[in-house]
Amino acid sequence: MRRRGFLRAGCACGALLIPGLGRAQALSDWQPPTRFARPDISTDEGGLWAMMDREETKLRRSPFTIRDSDLRGYVHDIACRLGGEHCSDIRVHLVRTPLFNASMSPNGMMQVWTGLMLRVDNEAQLAAVLGHEIGHYLARHSLERLRDAKSRSAFAQFMGLFGLIGAVGQLATLAGAFAYSRDHEREADSIGLALMRNAGYDPAEAAKVWDNLLLEIKAKPGGDPASSPMFATHPPPEERKETLMRLAEASPGGVTNERTWQEKTAPLRHEWLGDEIKRGQHEESLALLKRMIERTPSQAEYLYARAEVYRLRAKENDLDAAIADYDAAVALGTEPPQAHRGLGMIYRLRNQSAAAKASFERYLQLAPEAPDFAIIKSYMEEDRT
């Protein structure tokens, strides 16, 4: 199964108010429904559940599903604290793909993408996104969308969207035609903040997630949030941020659990950063990494990743910026071995043979089992001739 095949209609973007509740009341007055019984297969909802059961079987077998039981259990515990009585019906799957997304299907299958986990700063921010998706689940928005599609003679197209989407580029079509309505998104966000508060998380972290994501979107050439598929069917970002902040102010306090989050994700962070670099969206990646470095300047991994993006983009002055970041990572003493490889590649490009050889030697010394060992050795041999 291809990585891009996991795109679902339930994108993790939205914004809020439960119909009939005032802003200050939303967090304190909302009560979750009781657990859902499995619907009969002959009903609309039963058929939808059966389809998602089949997709979940495929997801379990996918090479892009992360098998790390510790991390998966940790994220599942967060979802359970949010879901409360519905905990036993929630099944969390972590999917290796460098895009920002999470989704939850009507049968209880939840996907959390690594691009999302890379971008959140703490446990509370992840809880904001998961709470939003659980909000869609608790409000049974998928069933409403199904019935609306049937009433508009678009049933076959709708059902196709719940199968595996063939390309990430179809997100625009998906968001424009079949995504949750803006009212659904508002309701899901409002429920999500109520779940955060009930679970003891700081609801003020919710607005920060989307504020950070907007930094990346605006970094793109001509980056207009209104033109992004992610925001195409959602309330305007400014409205969303203000409403999230206002609801959070009505019920302040709570934990973020940043240290625990950073410790739990640390073993996979290098891999996730590598996937982000390979994504090839240099301006977005630079905006993300700039924010991460400003937040944690002592993290050599982030400096190395930004250096790699500069090196690959290779615009005017980018190689100098890359060397500065590589050197800063090395100065911290916790640099990935690949930082020396990157330095060697730039020095080789600039015909600085001695510097290139020294960097490559250090790389192979730190990573003797490197998959590109033979290639790097050949570069070192070239420099001798």
The torsion of the CA quartet 137, 142, 145, 149, rounded to 10 degrees, works out to -170
Q: What is the mean pLDDT of residues 288-303?
A: 97
Q: Are residues 219 and 309 in the same domain?
A: no
The region of weakest confidence among 6-20, 94-108, 291-305, 334-348 is: 6-20
Number of structural domains found in the chain: 2
- Residue 296 maps to a domain: yes
- Residue 317 maps to a domain: yes
The region of weakest confidence among 86-90, 163-167, 202-206 is: 163-167
pLDDT recorded at residue 89: 96
- Residue 151 maps to a domain: yes
Q: Are residues 144 and 288 in the same domain?
A: no
Q: Are residues 77 and 28 in the same domain?
A: yes
pLDDT classification of 9: cutoffs 50, 70, 90: very low
Q: Are residues 277 and 334 in the same domain?
A: yes
pLDDT digits (tens, 9 = 90+) for 269-281: 999 999 999 999 9
Q: Are residues 238 and 309 in the same domain?
A: no
In this prediction the pTM is: 0.85
pLDDT digits (tens, 9 = 90+) for 14-46: 333 333 334 334 445 678 899 999 999 988 788
Q: Are residues 17 and 104 in the same domain?
A: yes
Task: Tell me which range, 47-61, 152-166, 247-261, 323-337, is most confidently predicted by mean pLDDT.
Answer: 323-337
- CB of 360 within 8 A of CB of 379? yes
- Residue 262 maps to a domain: no
Residue 355 pLDDT greater than 90, yes or no:
yes
- Residue 225 maps to a domain: yes
Q: Are residues 237 and 309 in the same domain?
A: no
Residue 163 pLDDT greater than 60, yes or no:
no
- Residue 10 maps to a domain: yes
Looking at residue 306, which CATH number applies to its domain?
1.25.40.10
Domain ranges, residue 47: 3-249
Q: Are residues 95 and 187 in the same domain?
A: yes
Q: Are residues 275 and 218 in the same domain?
A: no
pLDDT digits (tens, 9 = 90+) for 238-263: 777 788 888 888 888 999 999 999 99
Q: Are residues 121 and 195 in the same domain?
A: yes
- Residue 347 maps to a domain: yes
